[in-house]
Structure 1
Amino acid sequence: MRTLKITFLFLFVFSSLIKAQSNLARSISLNIEQQKLSSVLAMIEEKGGFRFSYNSNILPVDSLVTIHENNLNIAETLDKLLNHRFEYRQSGNFVIIRYAPLELLLLVNESVGNPELYTITGQVVDKRSNKPIEDASIYEKNLLVSELSDGNGYFSMRLKNITQPISLTVSKENYKSTITHFLAEVNITNRKEGSAERFISGNLGDIEKTWLGNTLVTAQQKIQSINIGGFISKAPFQFSLIPGLNSHGSLSGQVVNKFSFNVVGAYSAGVDGGEIGLGFNINKSDVQYFQFAGGFNLVGGNVRGVQIAGFFNGVIGDVRAAQVALAYNRVGKGFEGFQVGGIYNHVNQDVKGIQLSLGLNTIGGTLKGWQTGALNLVNKETKGVQIGIGGNIVAGRTSGVQVGGIANINKESSGVNLAMLANLTGQTASGLQIGAINYAKKLKGVQLGILNVSGQNDGYSIGLVNIALKGYHKFSFGTNESTTYNVVYKGGSKRLYNMLMFGTNKKSAEKIYTGGLGFGKEMKVFRSVSLNPEISSQYVYQGSWDYLNLLNKFELPLNIRLNKWLAIQGGPSVNVYYTKQNNKIGEFGLLQEKHKDFAFNDPRYTGWLGWNVGLVIL
């Protein structure tokens, strides 16, 4: 290892406003007259080849500005546009604009020591008033050592194992930051991968606004977050007993660790490797690869990898991971991966993966994967598979498959809905509904159930009772060769309607009753004339329930409409009668005897040609 001895106890101390050395030093020319500040900043981004990051609630982006300048550097241009009330710091390809109308000074009282132990004491004061500044952050970003100034602005910092010149950064909310450099008697070595400062955009204070974050994060850590903002350092390791007692001190919320071990719990900027917390883990930005907590994980950014918690996982950003919690998982944005929650899973945006719980699954966006729970709620639409032991509720459109133990409730449906009890679609159902009860305001697909109800029926309803409130529903009263009195309800659509049929024959010595189901289709011939092919099957009661008697019919009645509410019908029929009763009872006995020449090889079957005639109430 190459070393260079610098023998000079204190070479110089200097302070300066933080100016980035590359992007901010570039010269540009602007000739702008009364344009929005946001548009002008976009022009500077294009000329400088970088991106701005700023809080639009503080920066007056809608204000109109005028500037005519040639060959000014970008920092000077921004000062003119923003009236010297902001500071600018560069990180990577970002220039961060931070509200800072005030200026501070670092007054060094003493700086003594050696590479093993170096001490710096001083005071932070307001540059204009010379008043002391309380709770200013003083930190060495390479050594990850920090202090907060006291009520009189004083601080004392102890630095150990120094291998590089010392750079102290002083930051305070609403003040422009300063950097003070020290060249002490140090051994400068070839450094391993250090903790170079970088910038993370976004609302990094969100995690501290949660109830748990506000309770468990210390006041000193919150102040550091406010003062330093999105400037984050990296470290290979963190050890923590509790959030306020750890290897990075009050600066822990500004450090992303490769690995973190936390006895009770910890607070950090994020994880870029692995984290184990016997109690809990709190991270204000991203976590990736692996995180385990005996109690809970609370993450303010995004999660990539595997996240396991004994109680719950709470993530404010996106999750692309396997996420497991015995109680519940809560994701503030989108989810892609595999999620298991014992009681509850909630994703605020879209899900592209699998959610499993014994209780409730809720999605604020669209489901494009698989979801299983006692109850599933989707706020937009589903394009995947949902299985709800109790049911599924979708506020938008379903185009996948839903299986509900009790019910499926949708706004619109173009997929498959299966339910033991009911499928309810508030608007248009153009897929398949299978359930005991099916409802759609407008049916363009297929309903299969005991009771099918639709407001407007342009599809197919197959069931015991089909009701189209604004569609096809008719009653017919007629007679035929086998039963004197017949009543039929026809409901559904012209494409396919269901028939609920009842008949009786009082001419027999013993009364005969018939009842059954059928299907038909209305085929228009002329304006007031239609042909209705119909097929049906009816049970024939002949005095005993011990025998199965079935009358199967194919009828071809012609309907002639007389006015808006009345039509006459009549036509031929083909009949096939099946019975196990040996005694020939009533009209059916006579029909069997009369048409015995038309009997099949099996004596239980008899066939004949018949007729029907009657009235239809429209």
Structure 2
Amino acid sequence: MKTNMIAAGLFLFCLLFTTTSPLFAQSHSHKRPKKGINLALNITNKKKQPSRTYLNLGIISNYSCLNGLGINAISSVTHYHTKGFQLSGLTNITGLHTKGFQLSGIANITGRNSNGIILSGLMNVNGGSQNGFAFSGIGNMTAKSQRGVIISGLINIANERSSGMLLSGIANVSKQEQSGLMVSGLLNASGDTVRGLQLTSLLNIAGKANNGIQLAALGNINTTNRGAQIGISNYSAENKGVQIGIANIAGEGRKGLQFGIVNVSADSLSHQIGCINITPQTRVQLLISSGNLNKVNIAARFKNRYTYTELGGGAYYFDLDHDLSASAFYRAGLYYPILSRLEISADAGFYHIETLDNKHNGYPARVYALQPRLNLEYRITKKLGFFVSGGYSWTRQYKHNHTFERKGTFEAGLVLF
């Protein structure tokens, strides 16, 4: 399940990671860049092994270590460590570790770890970890962890864990844990556990668990939710926290809470607050009826223990001598069994009515109605019953304070399933 849920994120990771794999392989095999052209002025201490360069000014530089200041018009390559300030017009390449400040027009490439402030026009790539502040126009990619403030125009990728604050235009991908803040334009994906905040406009994914907050405009996905999922749609195989959205779906989750329009849980003891709540114990029924208001009604009823909700529609809200009108309604109520086959219930409903062609005959284009009712229902068989209802209706025009119509209501119909 973990692999399936983060497939999109890992695919994107693999696609971009392949472009840097030769560098990572180089760093782990302890090979250093080959000697090359050196068009620069250097102040170097050759008595130390490897030799240390304290000042480097030139066009293209290729030397052992930088312990100070290096400025080059095109590129700077150090075979071992870089400690200090390194600036180049195109690329900075370090065989092992970088500490200090790096600035390049295109890319900073480090065989192992980067520590400090790393700035590039396009890419920052590390064979080890990236720690501190990093900024790039396209992406920051590390073979291990990212820690600190990592900002990119498109994507941040950590082959292990990430912590701190990651900001990207498209996606943040962490193969293992994520701690802190992830903010992206489209996608945040963590292969393991999230212990912070994931914020995006499209999708948040936690391969193992969410112990923090997942906030997305479209959806949030994880295996175990112990924190909060907030979005249009939320999915968790096990919900022990809270899901807030239009549609919430969970497997097990009696300790969790679902708050939304539609709540679905595989646990019959889960806590749900919403318009439609579905558990394994929910009985879904079809109601067909007629009354003095809607002459033809059809509705789906979601019946739980002592509570139910209805969602449906009808036709001819006004008398039959009027043109066709249409309505959509939602009801919520309570029921109690009086006898083995007879039960009493009470509900309140909201109706939205489109008057259609009746608007040419002095009726508003659309109105709404509030309707409390009292109902009796009798089960003929296990999958067939009938009901009668009586109540009162207040019909009002939107954005107007006066009542358009008021009258008593009567309805009778069949219950299927």
User: What TM-score comes out, normalization by structure 1 length?
Assistant: 0.50
* Change beyond 3 A, Cα 1:570–1:391: same
Q: Match for residue 372 of structure 1?
A: 184
Q: Which amino acid aligns with 1:275?
A: Q
Question: By how many angstroms is 1:338 displaced?
Answer: 1.5
The answer as to whether partners of 2:385 and 2:416 remain within 8 angstroms in 1 is yes
Q: Does 2:211 align with 1:402?
A: no
* Alignment equivalent of 2:243, drawn from 427, 432, 441: 432
Q: Does 2:203 align with 1:391?
A: yes
Question: By how many angstroms is 1:346 displaced?
Answer: 0.5
Q: Match for residue 544 of structure 1?
A: 358
* Alignment equivalent of 1:261, drawn from 46, 70, 73: 70
1: distance between equivalents of 2:122 and 2:413?
A: 71
Q: Does 2:131 align with 1:298?
A: no
* Change beyond 3 A, Cα 1:215–1:234: closer
Question: By how many angstroms is 1:483 displaced?
Answer: 4.2
Q: Match for residue 476 of structure 1?
A: 287
* Change beyond 3 A, Cα 1:469–1:386: same
Matched residue SS, 2:187: strand
Q: Does 2:125 align with 1:314?
A: yes
Deviations 1:160-199 (A, max 9, x none): xxxxxxxxxxxxxxxxxxxxxxxxxxxxxxxxxxxxxxxx
Q: Does 2:377 align with 1:577?
A: no
Q: Which amino acid aligns with 1:319?
A: Q
Deviations 1:330-370 (A, max 9, x none): 12223232212122211223333222222332121233313
Q: Which amino acid aligns with 2:208?
A: G
Question: By how many angstroms is 1:312 displaced?
Answer: 1.3
2: distance between equivalents of 1:561 and 1:504?
A: 26
The answer as to whether partners of 1:218 and 1:244 remain within 8 angstroms in 2 is no
Deviations 1:191-226 (A, max 9, x none): xxxxxxxxxxxxxx9856169x9794349xxxxxxx
The answer as to whether partners of 1:265 and 1:281 remain within 8 angstroms in 2 is yes
Q: Match for residue 320 of structure 2?
A: 508
Question: Can you give the 5+ residue segments of structure 2 that lack an aligned partner in the other structure?
Answer: 1-21, 37-47
Matched residue SS, 2:128: coil
Q: Does 2:411 align with 1:616?
A: no
Matched residue SS, 2:322: coil
Deviates more, 1:331-340 or 1:491-500: 491-500
Question: By how many angstroms is 1:401 displaced?
Answer: 3.1
1: distance between equivalents of 2:111 and 2:306?
A: 56
**Greater relative CO, 1 or 2 (CA 8 Å, sep 6+):** 2
1: distance between equivalents of 2:94 and 2:346?
A: 71
Q: Match for residue 217 of structure 1?
A: 34
The answer as to whether partners of 1:338 and 1:354 remain within 8 angstroms in 2 is yes
The answer as to whether partners of 2:288 and 2:415 remain within 8 angstroms in 1 is yes
The answer as to whether partners of 1:360 and 1:376 remain within 8 angstroms in 2 is yes
Q: Does 2:406 align with 1:606?
A: yes
2: distance between equivalents of 1:326 and 1:445?
A: 41
Question: By how many angstroms is 1:512 displaced?
Answer: 6.0
2: distance between equivalents of 1:356 and 1:439?
A: 28
* Alignment equivalent of 2:171, drawn from 360, 371, 378: 360
Matched residue SS, 2:54: strand
Question: By how many angstroms is 1:489 displaced?
Answer: 0.9
1: distance between equivalents of 2:89 and 2:294?
A: 81
Q: Does 2:82 align with 1:274?
A: no
Question: By how many angstroms is 1:373 displaced?
Answer: 2.5
Deviations 1:128-170 (A, max 9, x none): xxxxxxxxxxxxxxxxxxxxxxxxxxxxxxxxxxxxxxxxxxx
Q: Match for residue 342 of structure 1?
A: 153
1: distance between equivalents of 2:79 and 2:50?
A: 11
* Change beyond 3 A, Cα 1:259–1:573: same
The answer as to whether partners of 1:217 and 1:244 remain within 8 angstroms in 2 is no
Matched residue SS, 1:544: helix
* Change beyond 3 A, Cα 1:561–1:538: same
Deviations 1:84-121 (A, max 9, x none): xxxxxxxxxxxxxxxxxxxxxxxxxxxxxxxxxxxxxx
The answer as to whether partners of 1:299 and 1:314 remain within 8 angstroms in 2 is yes
Identity of aligned residues (%): 15
The answer as to whether partners of 2:323 and 2:358 remain within 8 angstroms in 1 is no
Q: Match for residue 553 of structure 1?
A: 371
* Alignment equivalent of 2:383, drawn from 565, 569, 576: 565
Q: How many residues align?
A: 367
2: distance between equivalents of 1:503 and 1:245?
A: 80
Question: By how many angstroms is 1:490 displaced?
Answer: 1.6
Map 1:123-272 onto structure 2 (within 5 A): 209=26, 216-218=33-35, 235=52, 237=54, 239=56, 245-246=62-63, 252=64, 255=65, 257-261=66-70, 263=72, 264-272=75-83
Map 1:444-523 onto structure 2 (within 5 A): 445-446=257-258, 448=260, 458-460=270-272, 462=274, 471-491=282-302, 493-494=304-305, 497-504=308-315, 508-510=320-322, 513-523=325-335
The answer as to whether partners of 1:460 and 1:493 remain within 8 angstroms in 2 is no
Deviations 1:528-573 (A, max 9, x none): 5665442212234565145133331122435555554344444543
The answer as to whether partners of 1:366 and 1:380 remain within 8 angstroms in 2 is yes
* Change beyond 3 A, Cα 1:260–1:281: farther
Deviations 1:221-274 (A, max 9, x none): xxxxxxxxxx9879472538699843xxxxx2xx5x431415322224323433
CA RMSD across the alignment: 4.2
Matched residue SS, 2:132: strand
2: distance between equivalents of 1:338 and 1:395?
A: 23
Deviations 1:446-498 (A, max 9, x none): 3545x7666667454746x8776873422223444544543321237558654
Q: Which amino acid aligns with 1:350?
A: R
Q: Match for residue 101 of structure 1?
A: none
Question: By how many angstroms is 1:400 displaced?
Answer: 0.6
Question: Can you give the 5+ residue segments of structure 1 that lack an aligned partner in the other structure?
Answer: 1-204, 220-230, 247-251, 581-600
Greater Cα radius of gyration, structure 1 or 2: 1
2: distance between equivalents of 1:332 and 1:453?
A: 39
Deviations 1:17-42 (A, max 9, x none): xxxxxxxxxxxxxxxxxxxxxxxxxx
Question: By how many angstroms is 1:433 displaced?
Answer: 4.0
Matched residue SS, 1:369: strand
Q: Does 2:140 align with 1:329?
A: yes
Question: By how many angstroms is 1:510 displaced?
Answer: 3.1
2: distance between equivalents of 1:512 and 1:469?
A: 39
